Homo-oligomer: A and B are copies of this chain.
Amino acid sequence: MILAIDVGGTKLAAGLVTPDGHVLETRVAATPQDADAERLWKALEELIAPMPEAEGVGVGCGGPMIWPDGRVSPLNIPGWRDFPLRERLAASFPGRTVRVHNDAVCLAAAEHWLGAGRGHANMLGMVVSTGVGGGLVLGGRLVNGGTGNAGHIGHVVVEPGGPLCGCGGRGCLEAVARGPALVAWAQEQGWSPGHGPLDGGPYEEGRAVTGRGLASDALRGDPVARAAMARAGRALGLAIASATHLCDLDVVTVGGGLSQAGAPLFGPLEEALRAHARMDFARRLRVVPAALGQSAGLVGAAALILAGDRYWDAI
């Protein structure tokens, strides 16, 4: 049994995962806000304390990080800067393998291992949410690139001179298609949140104005929400066309809150993709919604260990 951990800015999750990728036991805790490094570590320690029997530990964590060292500085967890997460976990689980990778990369590994990308040798796994991230599988193996950062599809340029991006560039896919950017765009066009998400996720007062809420409203026919999804879809289609020309992909999986929008997102995405992916070899590409649900992060973290021949290539 492998201990899988998913470290995010909102919540910490941990689970025991069987060799075939079933998540047996899940524990979740809120990520302490405004906490220092040691308080954050204590919260994680308490979460995983009931799972000491794990034979190995796989971790997905928000980036950036020094990889494969697992020294993490997650954008949304200011208390951890160059925090030696892998080293701490290795001390807690002596003699056992501990592997840490980018959370978006883990989601891609999960979709390739057991989800919508299964059986395809060349895949880009995307997540469209508060940010736009991804992971790249080529020749059946996870691609790390020089520093473990391959897969950053969110910073492919789709609109030169376009909106400023968090990275400092302009016109990145993420600057156009991330949830908060779309919400801001929709609000400028007069949208205010309607009915709440279709999937029963959190939608309380004060959390309603999210990409997920916008996606739900689009699916219900709200015209501004639909226009926002079309805007995201076009940007995604264009970035995916560029990615498949460069990497000769078989399949792209799209997950994250925005992918809940279904046709209002995927229709314009396909249209832009087909307009731009014109080389013969690129026409065969299929874009599909991610198949694994809430547990994908844990499944992918476990895959770093359980299917390390494909998803772990560090020296």
- Known contacts A138-B138, A150-B138; is-contact A248 B144 (Cβ 8 Å): yes
Which residues in B have their C-beta under 8 angstroms from that of A282? 149, 155
Interface presence of A200 (CB below 8 A): no
**Who on chain B is nearest to A122 by CB?**
B146
Size band of the interface chain A makes with B:
35 or more
Q: Is the CB–CB distance between B247 and A246 below 8 Å?
A: yes
On chain B, the residues within 8 Å of A22 by CB distance are none
Contact call B121/A146, Cβ cutoff below 8 A: yes
Distance in Å from the Cβ of A225 to the closest Cβ of chain B? 23
User: A308 at interface (Cβ–Cβ under 8 A)?
Assistant: no
Interface of chain A, main secondary structure: loop
Question: How distant is A271 from chain B, measured CB to nearest CB, in Å?
Answer: 13
Residues of B within 8 A of A287 (CB): none
The answer on a CB contact under 8 Å between B241 and A152 is: no
With both beta carbons as reference points, the residue of chain B lying nearest to A174 in the complex is identified as B245
A54–chain B nearest beta-carbon distance, Å: 29
Does A167 lie within 8 Å of B278, measured CB to CB? yes
Among B143, B168, B172, B246, which residue has its beta carbon within 8 angstroms of that of A243? Answer: B246
Q: Distance in Å from the Cβ of A180 to the closest Cβ of chain B?
A: 19
Cα(A270)–Cα(B169), bound, Å: 14
A201 at the interface (CB under 8 A from B): no
Report the separation of the CA atoms of residues A242 and B139 in the bound assembly, to the nearest whole angstrom: 21
User: A159 interface residue, CB < 8 Å from B?
Assistant: yes
Contacts A151-B246, A169-B276, A170-B275 aside, 16 further interface pairs with beta carbons under 8 A come to A138-B145, A143-B247, A146-B250, A146-B281, A147-B248, A152-B245, A152-B248, A157-B238, A157-B276, A158-B160, A160-B238, A167-B279, A172-B245, A172-B276, A246-B246, A247-B247
Using a CB–CB cutoff of 8 Å, the interface residues on chain A facing chain B are: 64, 121-122, 136, 138-139, 141, 143-160, 165, 167-170, 172, 238, 241-243, 245-250, 275-282, 284, 313
